[in-house]
């Protein structure tokens, strides 16, 4: 057995960038921090501005400052009636199983994080563990959700 490949039991493993953020409470990450907020919404949702305002209010309540705001709306592709494959049926689905949003939007957000020196990114949408891990690696910052913030504030989602 190659010992370099398999660390001995009890040895600490490097869990990659952002691993320490998972251990911190959202209040500790958000308090006095520059935060980028983001949400992916179906084109059918007309209240996405109100939902993003709700997210901003939660960040502000925990002491964070919203430095940038990103919304991606998933519309209908295809002809006027929306009958082409992937159109209406995909409106409620994420663009990517890895990152939730499209590659271009994620790149735009990463640039904004660097520009505004963001400490965290907070999504309106729930994220899978895989998405959270991938986004944390891309952004190099803590990645949280509205649900994380509401649980911290003592709310029930």
Give the pLDDT confidence of 46-66 residue by residue, as tens digits. 899 999 999 999 999 999 999
pTM, rounded to two decimals: 0.74
- Residue 132 within a domain: yes
pLDDT attached to residue 42: 86
Is 16 within 8 Å of 140 (Cβ atoms)? no
CA 113 → CA 4, 51, 53, 59, 78, distances in Å? 36, 21, 19, 16, 33
pLDDT attached to residue 75: 73
State the CATH number of the domain containing residue 101. Answer: 3.40.50
- Count of CA atoms in the C-beta half-sphere (13 A) of 81: 3
Question: Residue 70: what are its φ and ψ, rounded to 5°?
Answer: -130, 135
pLDDT attached to residue 155: 52
pLDDT attached to residue 2: 43
- Residue 78 within a domain: yes
Q: Tell me how crowded residue 157 is: count the other CB atoms within 10 A of its CB.
A: 10
Residues of the chain with pLDDT under 70: 1-23, 76-97, 153-157
- Residue 44 within a domain: yes
């Amino acid at each position: 057995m190659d010992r370099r490949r398999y660390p001995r039991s009890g040895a600490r493993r490097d869990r990659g960038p952002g691993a320490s953020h998972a251990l911190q409470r959202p209040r500790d990450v958000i308090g006095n921090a520059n935060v980028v907020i983001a949400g992916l919404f179906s084109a059918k949702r007309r209240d996405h501005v109100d939902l993003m305002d709700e997210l901003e209010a939660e960040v502000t309540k925990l002491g964070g400052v919203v430095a940038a705001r990103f919304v991606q709306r998933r519309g209908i592709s295809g002809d006027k009636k929306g009958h082409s494959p992937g159109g209406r049926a995909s409106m409620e689905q994420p663009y990517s199983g890895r990152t939730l949003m499209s590659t271009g939007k994620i790149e735009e957000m990463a640039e904004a994080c660097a520009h505004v020196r963001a400490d965290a990114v907070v999504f309106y949408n729930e994220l899978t563990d895989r998405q959270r891990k991938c986004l944390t690696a891309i952004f190099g910052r803590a990645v949280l959700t509205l649900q994380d913030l509401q649980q911290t504030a003592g709310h029930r989602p």
